[in-house]
Amino acid sequence: MIPLPGSRALAVLVTALALLLAPLRAANKEINLFAWSEYFPQSVLGGFTRETGIRINYETFASGEEMLAKLLAGGTAYDLVQPPDYIAEALIRNRLLLPLDRAKLPGVSNLLPEYLNLPHDPEQRYTVPYMVSTVGIVVNTERIKEPVTGLADLFAPRHAGRIVVVDDARELVTAALYVLGYPLNEINAKNLAEARPLLAQWMKRIKLYDSDSPKTALLNGDVDLGYVWGGEAARLWSENPKFAYVIPKEGAHQFIDVMAIPEGAKNVDAAHRFIDYLLRPEVSKAISDEFPYTNPNGAARRLLSAEQLANPASYPPGNRKFDTFRHLGETGALIDELITDLKNSR
């Protein structure tokens, strides 16, 4: 279609390819990291590579479920994964994580005790907390004048078409359970049947599902309210304080994203080194600078500025106790099916 010069072009191409492929064989000092999108500053990854010569392949997922599916598909040998607590619990129960060598992780002592030995990993044998986040409501107070204090307000009919929600089936169902007054881990056919009509109404009012970066649509003004990760809300607040963060009055939970080494990892030693590198106060601070989630690292928190600590979405004021997700087993499939079906029947 397009005229091309001589047939030697192909030969040149082949030679060039051979040259490009050559260095690939040499590089086996690398770890395959499977983690949330938008969760590692480039400087942190680059700093580790400069220091150790170990290259990091950062592959991303947008939900805990996606992570589990790709890990189980076994297409790639990951050396390091970053599941949320309840997915980690499932992996531990199915013996899909390797126990960590604590001798190689002196940095664990930097972590605050309230984030250790939680139900998903009671002895802290398999996981190390990375960041913690609540899930809450963001309100663009310039556009939304009436107060929004809970989930029922958020999904009120008057907000139809102005809401962004994380693209995560379990978060949606949990929100509905809170409003109905059920504990968040009590998921069974009866509770879901009650939640269904409520969710069906809510989902008609949602404009956008986005787990990767719900803040983008809020910043762009495409939506004015959101049910999003605390870290996203924190970035919005630091961008412009008109984005208020509300912990829903009906109930709120936090999730702990952890680092863990999956069964079948090739580079276990390098993976440990990377985990310990992440636990260093100055590295952990650098992560907080770019991704202002709740930092479980006490030594790193001391390095944060007063302004960072004042961010209500990162460090919610008051001493409210937050729930955590537990692994659901069989009933997890019910959630998937409910949300898929509801989304599809719009």
Partner 1 sequence: MHALSDTAPAPAGGRRAGVMAWLLLAPLGLWLVLFVVVPIAGLAVYSFCQRDDLGRVIYDFTWENYARVFDPIYLRILGRSVGYAAVTTVICVAVGYPVAWFIARQRSPLRERLLLLVMIPFWTSFLIRTYAWIAILKTEGLLNGLLQFSGVVTAPLSLLYTPTAVIIGLVYAYLPFMILPIYGSAEKLDNALVEAAHDLGAGPIRAFSEVIIPLTWPGIAAGILLVFVPAIGMFAITDLMGGAQVPLIGNVIQNQFFRARNAPFGAALGIVFTLMFIVTYALAHRRRRSSASP
Partner 2 sequence: MRPIPPPPPLHARWSGLRLLEAGLGAWTVVVFLFLYLPILVLVVYSFNASRLNVVWEGFTLDWYGRLWDDTRIMRALKNSLIVAGCTTVLSVALGTVGAWLLHRYRYRFGRTLQTLIAVPMIMPEIVMGISLLVLFTTVGLKLGFLTVIVAHTTFCFPFVLIAVQARLQGMDPALEEAAMDLGATPVRAFLLVIVPYLRPAILSGALMAFTLSLDELIVTFFTASAQVATLPLLVFGMAKVGLNPMLNALSVLFIVATVAFVLFSEHLRRLGRRAP
Choosing from 72, 77, 189, 193, the residue that interacts with partner 1 (CB under 8 A) is 72
Closest CA to 83 of 135, 128, 115: 128
String marking each residue 154-193 x if it binds partner 1 according to CB under 8 A: -------x-----x-x------------------------
> Do residues 208 and 161 touch, judged by C-beta distance below 8 A?
no
Choosing from 8, 25, 28, 75, the residue that interacts with partner 2 (CB under 8 A) is 75
Closest CA to 91 of 64, 113, 118: 64
Containing 198, the helix (H) or strand (E) segment is: helix 189-205
Phi-psi category of 241—alpha, beta or left, where left has phi over 0 and alpha has psi -120 to 50?
alpha
Is the CB of 188 or the CB of 340 nearer to partner 1? 340
Choosing from 33, 90, 179, 187, the residue that interacts with partner 1 (CB under 8 A) is 90
Taking CB under 8 A as the rule, does residue 17 contact partner 2? yes
Choosing from 57, 117, 240, 340, the residue that interacts with partner 2 (CB under 8 A) is 57
Closest CA to 30 of 94, 73, 76: 76
Is the CB of 1 or the CB of 26 nearer to partner 2? 1
Q: Which does 94 bind (CB under 5 to 8 A by kind): partner 2, partner 1, none?
A: partner 1
> Rounded to the nearest 10 degrees, what angle do helices 42-52 and 268-279 cross at?
120
Nearest-angstrom CA–CA distance, 118 and 190: 28
Nearest-angstrom CA–CA distance, 215 and 217: 6
Taking CB under 8 A as the rule, does residue 65 contact partner 1? yes
Closest CB 81 distance from partner 2, rounded Å = 12
Taking CB under 8 A as the rule, does residue 94 contact partner 1? yes
User: Rounded to 5 degrees, what are φ and ψ at 137?
Assistant: -105, 135
Query: Of residues 186-215, which lie at the interface with partner 2 (CB under 8 A)?
Result: 210, 212-213
> Do residues 126 and 87 touch, judged by C-beta distance below 8 A?
no
Closest CB 130 distance from partner 1, rounded Å = 22
Containing 80, the helix (H) or strand (E) segment is: strand 80-81
Taking CB under 8 A as the rule, does residue 66 contact partner 1? yes
Taking CB under 8 A as the rule, does residue 19 contact partner 2? no
Q: Which does 58 bind (CB under 5 to 8 A by kind): partner 2, partner 1, none?
A: partner 2
Q: Which does 209 bind (CB under 5 to 8 A by kind): partner 1, partner 2, none?
A: partner 1
Nearest-angstrom CA–CA distance, 120 and 280: 24
Closest CB 345 distance from partner 1, rounded Å = 5
Taking CB under 8 A as the rule, does residue 142 contact partner 1? no
Could you list the residues that contact partner 2 (CB under 8 A)? 1-5, 7, 10, 13-14, 16-17, 20-21, 24, 30, 32-34, 37-38, 42, 46, 57-60, 73-77, 210, 212-213, 216, 219-220
